[in-house]
Amino acid sequence: MDFTGKVVLVTGGSRGIGRAIAQQFAKRGARVAVHYHSNRAAVEATMASLPGGSHLIVQADMKDAAGIEAMVNQVTAEMGQLDILVNNAGIYEEHPAAETSYADWQASWQRVIETNLIGAANASYCAARVMMKQGYGRIVNVSSRGAFRGEPLGPAYGASKAGMNAMGQSLAKYLAPFNIFVGTVAPGFVETDMAAGHLAGPEGDGIRSQSPLGRVAKPEEVAYAVLFLASAGAEFMTGAIIDVNGASYLRT
């Protein structure tokens, strides 16, 4: 896969899956805009790891619609175009109903949905408007296995990712006539900071045993699926959701 000359915006690109996605695009010739919210040190470390030049750091709170618009405008102004958007930014919060106050329950739902789903929707809108003028583009969403199997301790996360799946399929149908193609990758557990506590804890062996491979995914394995959906030749997969969970959850 060759992305020479392409401009890619990766939200949540400062670490974990986002960092691996940014690195893999850069290795294949893309110029990458790496988004972060608050961890400046992490995004600078990611930038230092990217081969090639002409990359860009952009900042935005994914709950801030105006900030997302400003971020996309900055990418197009400074990099001249926007060919690929990867909606990777997301948060996970546990809020089990039996142990959470009503106020905290509402707050968790609002934060998670605003960040994971509405933020991705706003980024997709702003990017799609740019791509319509260009006459081409790709949007790839990073969803989750939890959209299908449920997230009992973090139901807002599961709901946000299920919404992302539906959003991606709806946009795939609408944007295809504009030569803009939309795909989604749904990982299971991945070796990231977000999952580190679970993997290192007493439930770690059980998590790894969910897959017949006896392990969880590496960030690079998720990145490869993202790159595939963004690549030339994958246009007819628009609307598809690719599972990257090591057969830990098989859906029909």
Question: So which residues are the catalytic ones?
Answer: 157
How many helices and strands, by DSSP H and E, does the chain display?
Answer: 10, 7
| Helix/strand/coil for 181 | strand
CA distance 176 to 30: 23
| DSSP string for 188-208 | -SBSSHHHHHHHHSTTHHHHH
How wide is the angle at C-alpha 142 spanned by C-alphas 192 and 54, nearest 5°?
Answer: 80
Residue with token string 């030049």:
53
Angle between helix 155-175 and 102-112 (nearest 10): 30
Residue 34 host element (H or E): strand 31-36
Say how many C-beta atoms besides its own lie within 10 A of residue 65's C-beta.
18
How wide is the angle at C-alpha 115 spanned by C-alphas 113 and 116, nearest 5°?
Answer: 70
Tokens at 121, concatenated: 């929707």
